A = this chain, B = another copy of it.
Amino acid sequence: MKKLEERILRDGVVKPGGILKVDSFLNHQIDTELCYEMAKEIHELYKDEEITKILTIEASGISIATMAGYVFGVPVVFAKKAMSKNISDNVYSVEVYSFTKKATKNVIVSKEYINAGEKILIIDDFLAMGSALEGLSDIVKQAGAEVVGAAIAIEKAFQPGGDKLRAKGMRIESLARVASMSDDSLTFVED
């Protein structure tokens, strides 16, 4: 998506450790007009599937997912990061390792909100190692529902998550795919 790529080039900041900061328009401050345009683009990509629900993870996936839910006309569920190890029987739960934070968290979704047979689109802001996406996908399968695919704002295509999950058969559409980044340059995967 041209507009997102241009925005990353203009306002993204590369930090040590392979961090791409997009705080000014996606992650902390949200450009709501761009958010809506991303939602329309995601709808364009998945409009022929009969999506019944969108699943994301708190906190920074919620903006795009909510806007996309509105465009698709479906509810959004956001998975919660649980501190506690006391996970109740009423939730689907999965452990997700964050490479950025170097910590494992339980990610939970109440069993009430994903039903067997549903067709789920997973949305997130970033895809790098793929652990969050894999965890969300696992939760959908625990519920007996189907992962139709994933829509990601920014994929770090130089990290293995996207290719690994595509190789397992998951449809993943990323609105911007970063091929390489350093202090003074950032390139995208050519279409």
| Chain A interface size range | 20 to 34
User: What is the count of identical protomers in the complex?
Assistant: 2
Q: Bound state CA distance, A62 and B58, in angstroms?
A: 9
Residue A77 is within 8 A (CB to CB) of chain B in the complex:
yes
Q: Are A28 and B78 in contact (CB under 8 A)?
A: yes
Q: Are B75 and A29 in contact (CB under 8 A)?
A: yes
Q: Are A33 and B73 in contact (CB under 8 A)?
A: yes
Q: Are A30 and B73 in contact (CB under 8 A)?
A: no
Question: Which of A29, A36, A67, A110: most chain B CB closer than 10 A?
Answer: A29
Q: Are A66 and B29 in contact (CB under 8 A)?
A: no
Interchain CB contact (< 8 A) of A74 among B28, B32, B76: B32
Closest CB of chain B to A115's CB: distance in Å?
Answer: 11
A23 partner residues in chain B, CB cutoff 8 A: 110, 112-113
| Chain A interfacial positions (CB closer than 8 Å to B) | 23-25, 28-33, 35-36, 58-59, 62-63, 66-67, 69-70, 73-78, 80, 109-110, 112-113
